[in-house]
Structure 1
């Protein structure tokens, strides 16, 4: 983690039970919204990606850090294997690919996301949500509401 701090990609952050609960509420809302099939696949994908970003933020905040400066989405996702362990690397690589696609959807053009892309990201986001909650219970149970 020191390398991230030395590069000023991260800074110290003191979180709270309320802040974590608020982020988890955003995650649940976004996962629910991303499941609404009358919305375009592009928007559903971007919303599911936001749930993933908020989950990664939960882990980062619970570890005492927050992303700083430019590229905070990339930093928030890329630092997770350093926190959650090397087993998280493959999932984080996938989420970083999703980050790139989401950027295209939000800033470059429409209709680039397939329904399969949405379904896959929703599945991965749900799995990641479970992993984050398990991680919190093991590492920072004080941040979970009863």
Structure 2
């Protein structure tokens, strides 16, 4: 993407993706996107030399929420773009 005159480095950043998901999915996704934004910020504060910063409980909660978010996205696709359903 380098060299493209109108390319913005931050265009595909995770925070923009989460904001876009909230806009597309509506209120049903708002709590999850806020949760993922909090997780993203926590991850950004972690020194990559550290380990075991996230607890087992936090990791389990993250996986559970990611699965729920996936289900919301699949339901949105089925409702708004049924031809794209797997």
TM-score over 0.5 (shorter chain): yes
Q: Confirm or deny: 8 A CA contact 1:81 1:88 kept in the other structure.
A: yes
Structural RMSD (CA): 2.4
Query: Does residue 79 of structure 2 align to residue 141 of structure 1?
Result: no
Q: How many residues align?
A: 80
1:125 pairs with 39, 52, 66, which one? Answer: 66
In structure 2, the CA distance between the partners of 1:107 and 1:94, relative to structure 1 (3 Å rule), is: same
**Greater strand percent: which structure?**
1
Deviation >6 Å, runs of 4+: none
CA distance in 1, matches of 2:47, 2:19: 21
Cα distance, 1:103 vs structure 2: 2.8
Matching residue of 1:91 = 32
C-alpha contact (below 8 Å) 1:74/1:96 kept by paired residues: yes
What is the match of residue 101 of structure 1?
A: 42
Larger Rg: 2
Per the alignment, residue 34 of structure 1 pairs with: none
Q: 2-side partners of 1:104 and 1:117: how far apart?
A: 16
Counterpart Cα distance in 2 of 1:106 and 1:77: 23
Q: CA–CA distance in 2 between the matches of 1:108 and 1:131? A: 34
- If asked which structure has higher relative contact order (CA below 8 Å, sep 6+), I would say 1
